[in-house]
Every structure is written in C-alpha cells, then in structure tokens.
Chain A
Amino acid sequence: MATMNMVHAINLALKEEMQRDKNVVILGEDVGRDGGVFRVTEGLLDMFGEERIMDTPLAESGIVGVAIGMAAYGLKPVAEVQFMGFIYPAVDQIFNHAARIRSRSRGRYSVPIVIRTPYGVGIKSPEHHSESSEAHFCHMPGIKVVVPSSPYNAKGLLISAIRDPDPVIFLESTRLYRMIKEEVPEGEYTVPLGKARIVQEGGQVTVIAWGSMLQKTMKAVEGMDAEVIDLMTLNPFDEETVYASVKKTGRVVIVHEAPKTGGFGAEISASIAEDAMLYLKGPIKRVTGYDAVLPLPKLEDYYMPTVERIRKGIDEVMQY
C-alpha cells in the first residue's frame, strides 16, 4: 500500500472516480494545465482531456452556477473554489439553488455536485486565504459539509461525496495538505458521510474536533484518558456517536478553528444540552478561534487554538 499525503490522496480519489464514471468532470480556476494552485488536480488534464478537466474563467459564482446546470443535465461535476475566502460570490448559487433545487422541484431534479475548497490557516498567505467558514454552510438545509483530517479519510470521504446524490461542500485544510502521510489504498473504498470516527477511546472527557484541529487535539490529549471524536461530516453530524461518548465521559470539549460565536461548536453544544444534558458533569467548553477578523500571518498563530489552549480547556472541564 502506498504512503501519501492529502494532496495525493485527493488526487487519487478524483482520478479513480473519473475512470469509473465518465459523468464525473472537474471545473475551476487553474485546475487544468496548472493542476490547481495546490496541485490537487495535477496530471488529470493529460489523463482526461479538456472536456473533463475544465479550466474556467475567474468567476466563483459562474463555476458553481455552471456546475449546477451540468449536474441537472446528468453530470457529476466536482467544482474547485480556489480558497474558501473566495467562495462568497458563489454563496447565492449554493444557497439559493444547489441546496434547494431538489426541494423546489419536489425531487424531479437534483444537484449532485461537490465543491472542493481549501480552507483554514496554514500557508502564511495574504488576507482571505485562511478562512474557516464551515458554519455558514451548515446552516443551509439541502447541502452537506464534509471536512477530512487525514489522507486516508480524505480519499474515502471524497469518493462518497462524489457519489452522493446531493451537493457537498468538501473542505480541505491547507495546513494538512502536505503535513501528514499515511497509508492510502489504491482502488475503491469509501468513508461514509454523516458518520464520525472515534480516533481514540477514553473515559474521562470527550474532545470533538475536525479537519485541521484534529492533529493538535491528538497532541493535547497525550497522556489523558480522553475520547477523541473526528466529526468528519459537519452537516448532517453524527449525533449518535457524540451522545454515546458524552454519556460515557460526562465532559465535553469542542475544538474548532473558526470564530466562537455562531461556530459549529455552538450547534454541537446546544444539541448535547438538548439530548444529553443530564449526563454532563460540568459545562461544555469550546476552544476556538477568536471572534476576530482572521489576522495576517504575523498574528495567525495567536488566533488559532494551540495545543496549550486545548489542554487548558480540557483541564477546565476536568475540574468538575
């Protein structure tokens, strides 16, 4: 089995799905000859040609809107938005159409698209290149939001996302792209959407994280009797796994990179409060980015939850 990073694992998923199904096409800025600014689509143009790997004009709403039309016609487009900070022009298309066309047409039409976009702090880049705005998308019924945290899961989740009959926002942490290597099987396997993964079993505290925060969380819990859940799909999130863990440990820490207010941690906290409150030994703690405009690289290390902040959060809930 080959060892590879997340860039290569995602590339492999795209390649295999395109070989399997000729309705799978890729479109986006610089995805063809350039192979994408992170090289995620490298080599695919030579393999599949311009008809299936479409370099588009520089227009995010256009990319997503055109992908919606293609999907309605029977293709399975994988659209790339170059950075999550640039997805906002396409939000109209995502919210007003991709999310609603199945409902609007009472099931006659659907929009099986995947929108891949790199997100999060990680590459010391200019403004708008480091956003984590997953919560906005989780609030819109009709779309799914998926965030892998490792090469193996990135491949399996992306294959599931491409085969999923509904629109999926697929977030790829720029920090993780080349950070971890692990064994990734060639050939078909899927990681199901809507299912979380217990990365480490434990009895004293449940720590919930996703995407870029998982590595830090794993460091933070070293030596602790902590159960770590990698949520992987944020919408719909795996309530069952979360509640089962909370019922076992009675303590919860949620870690995310996005700002605290209105972040997806709030949804998880509220859900636990609704459905598993009586199993809690103490308050739920969220360790998150600050309620601040994401700073430029000189300050981004202060913005991001650190191993120390996560550990401090766990220590706080362990007081109860």
Chain B
Amino acid sequence: MPETTIESCNVKRLEILSETGDADESLMPPLSDSQIRELYETLVRMRTFDHRALNLQREGRIGTYASILGQEASQLGTVYALEKEDWVFPSFRENGVLIGRGYEMYMILQYWGGDERGIKIPEGLNIFPISIPVGTHILHAVGAAIAAKYKGDKAATLAYFGDGGTSEGDFHEAMNFAGVFKAPVVFICQNNQWAISMPRVKQTAAKTIAQKAFAYGFEGVQVDGNDIFAVYKATKAAVDKARGGGGPTLIECHTYRMSDHTTADDASRYRTKDEVEAWKAKDPILRLKLYMEKKGLWNEEYGKQVETDATATVDEAVKKAEAVERPRPADMLTYTYKELTPRQVKQMRDF
C-alpha cells in the first residue's frame, strides 16, 4: 500500500508594515489615527525608559537589567490587543509589556533596583510577577487559562518567552497541556535571535518556532516582530479565538535583541557588528514613524514633543523610584507564608 500524507502544516508569516514605512492597506488592522499616535508615543516612552534604565545600571543606581531595545513593537503590539480581564505572564525581558499594560515605570525601576515591592502588582492589573527561570512560567499561563475557562470568564492569558525558552521542557509541557485542554492561552515567543550567546539555529533545528505549534494540535504563526501592525493583528486574532473557545495559538515574533543579553553581558564577544547594523534598518519605531509621516501623522515638531514628554515621564519615574524608602528587613520573613511560623517569629526578633 502506498504511503499517504495524513497531516501537513503550512507555516505563515504576517508582514504589514515595511521597513520603509509602507503598509499593505489590505491587511491593516482597524486602528484609528489617535490609536496609531498612542502606539507611537508608548513605543517612544518604552525606548526612553529602556535607555535610562541602562544608564542607571551603569551608574550603579539599579542592578542587572535586561534591555528591550529592538523588541518594543513585539511587546506593545501584543498587549495592545488585550482587554482588561486578560492576563499576561512576563519573563524578565518584558519591561515593555509592563509599560504597555499600564504598569508604573517607577515600580519597574524599583524592582530592578532590588526591591520586591516593585513587582507587587496593583489589584485590578492582570499581570503576573516577572519570572526569571527561563520557560517555567509558560505553564502558569496555561493553568490560569484553564482556570479562567473553568470559571466561565471571558479571559485569555498571554505567556511571554524567547527563542531560548522554547528549548526548555516546560515549553513542551505547557504547549502540550494547552492543546489537550484547549486552553484560552496565547504563546508569545519573541524570537530575538539570541539566548545570551547562543544563536537561534542552536536552539532548534526547526526552520521556524511557529511550526512547533502544529505538533501540539493548534496553530502557530510567524509575524514580523518589528512591525507593530502585524504583531497587533495576529495577537488580536489569537486572543479573540481563545476567548471564543477556539483554543491556543503560538505567535512567533521574529525580532532582534539589539542590546546585550543583560547589563552583565557583552554581545560583541559572540556576534558581528554587521549583523546588528543590518537589523538597525528594521527598527520598529523608525518604520512606524516613516509610516505616520507619509500619513501626515508625524512631523518634526510632534516627534520632538513626544520625546520631550517621554523624557519628562521617565525623569519623574526615576525620581519617584529613588525616593521610595528602603524595604523593611522583616519583609523577607513576612511574605514567606500567610502567617509566620513559630520559628520565623523568633527570627523576626533580629529586626
């Protein structure tokens, strides 16, 4: 008997906005001019924040910091597609996700400055605390999605991770559980090409990360991660599908980590300047600016104003972060359990 093809998958890539700022209008998501301006202004604020955070680290004013430079569109484009009741599960390189979700910038600085209170998420803001062990929190997003479904809530969850994270066993387990339980979860892989010094080709022999979804019984799509319209459109579709009972989606945001892995890293040890230069031309904010300019939504004066506003906002955040009083030493014991153990009560006497 001849062999037959019993399954096949088509891996699609979505691009809307080119590097020169030209958009394929037939694919454009419905965004008003004021929404597009809001996107641009938030992107600039993210980049301004990121740049300042790097400087603060160099000045010894915060600790190790993971830059989002180059990934702003992947981060904002995804959260911009969410409703208030949706949840995000960030890893450590999601400062843009936090900002895009309305998180106070001063608290992000407080956290990276070494104070847990910076990641005490305010009530009503559906963000899970930053997770550092790579890939492990993807499971939490799946669990929360199953719980949302069980409770009958119309909420979707978003799990953020990188190309390196897809090598972890928990990525596999999370994708597998999500498929089996048809959980309302969207997996956002920011494939930024590098996991510290390891290039994407050394994480997986697969041609794309998006195609991995098909093995778990659901859809995966690659988007140009520096194209905020494509990122937004794909995420919106995935989130709507999840809320409507259609199950999970994997979105591979094809982007680039323009900076070092963290402030403790030196990327010049393992990658070429030419590679980085080539990606500069694909910059997500530059291309949105070019688009807006063509549409009459951007001029020099507006651009300057946006930057001035962003700088002022970040200045304010830095001031506020540095004015926060030091945490109480007893806090390290207070939040271990709901109530102190008898032994902890004794240990508290040291403070």
**Chain A residues within CB distance 8 Å of chain B:** 25, 51-52, 54, 56-57, 59, 61-62, 65-75, 77, 89, 92-93, 96-97, 101-110, 141-142, 144, 165-166, 194, 236, 239-240
| Complex: A75 Cα to B335 Cα, angstroms | 20
Most chain B CB inside 10 Å of its own CB: which residue of A67, A71, A73, A93: A73
Q: Which of B151, B157, B181, B337 has the most CB of A within 10 A?
A: B337
Determine whether the beta carbon of B120 is less than 8 Å from that of A70.
no
Residue among B128, B140, B170, B334 with most chain A CB within 10 A: B140
User: Does the CB pair A57–B180 fall under 8 Å?
Assistant: yes
In the complex, how many residue pairs between chain A and chain B have their CB atoms under 8 Å apart? 141
Q: Which B residues are CB-close (under 8 A) to A240?
A: 342
Complexed CA–CA distance, A89 and B131 (Å): 18
Q: Is the CB of A107 within 8 A of B335?
A: yes
Residue in B closest to A110 when the chains form the complex, CB atoms: B338
B148 touches A73 (CB 8 A): yes
Query: What is the CB-to-nearest-CB distance from B110 to chain A, in angstroms, rounded to a whole number?
Result: 11
24 A-B pairs with CB atoms under 8 Å apart are A25-B150, A52-B150, A57-B173, A57-B177, A61-B169, A62-B173, A65-B139, A65-B142, A65-B173, A66-B143, A69-B146, A69-B157, A70-B146, A70-B147, A73-B144, A75-B147, A89-B169, A92-B170, A97-B131, A102-B336, A108-B123, A142-B336, A165-B338, A166-B338
How far is A65 from B146 in the complex, measured between Cα atoms in Å?
A: 12
**Cα separation A107 to B332 with both chains bound (whole Å):** 11
Q: Does A107 lie within 8 Å of B120, measured CB to CB? A: yes
Query: Shortest beta-carbon distance, A305 to chain B, in Å?
Result: 27
Determine the residue in chain B with the shortest Cβ distance to A166. B337
In Å, the complex CA distance between A5 and B144 comes to 35
- Within 8 Å by CB of B136, from A56, A74, A97, lies A97
Contact check, B128 vs A102: say whether CB atoms are below 8 A apart.
no
Task: Using CB atoms, name the residue of chain B closest to A65.
Answer: B139
Q: Which of A59, A67, A72 has a CB less than 8 Å from the CB of B173?
A: A59
Please name all residues of chain B whose beta carbon is closer than 8 Å to the beta carbon of A108 when the two chains form the complex: 120-121, 123, 129
The answer to whether the Cβ of B322 comes within 8 Å of any Cβ in the partner chain is no
For residue B176, CB closer than 8 A to chain A, the reply is yes
- Chain A residues near B331 (CB-CB < 8 A): 106
Residues of B near A54 (CB, < 8 A) are 146, 181
Chain A nearest CB from B141 CB (Å) reads 6
Q: Beyond A103-B332, A104-B129: 18 further Cβ-contacts under 8 Å?
A: A56-B180, A57-B176, A62-B173, A65-B140, A66-B139, A66-B174, A72-B143, A73-B148, A74-B147, A102-B336, A105-B116, A106-B117, A106-B120, A106-B335, A109-B129, A110-B338, A166-B337, A194-B341
Q: Once bound together, how far apart are the Cα atoms of A226 and B93, in whole Å?
A: 59
Tell me if B137 is interfacial: C-beta within 8 Å of chain A.
yes
Q: Which of B117, B129, B146, B334 contacts A66 (CB 8 A)?
A: B146
Q: Top 4 A-B pairs ranked by shortest CB distance?
A: A69-B143, A65-B139, A62-B173, A73-B147
Known pairs A56-B177, A75-B150; A68 contacts B140 (CB<8 A):
yes
Q: Is the CB of B143 within 8 A of A67?
A: yes
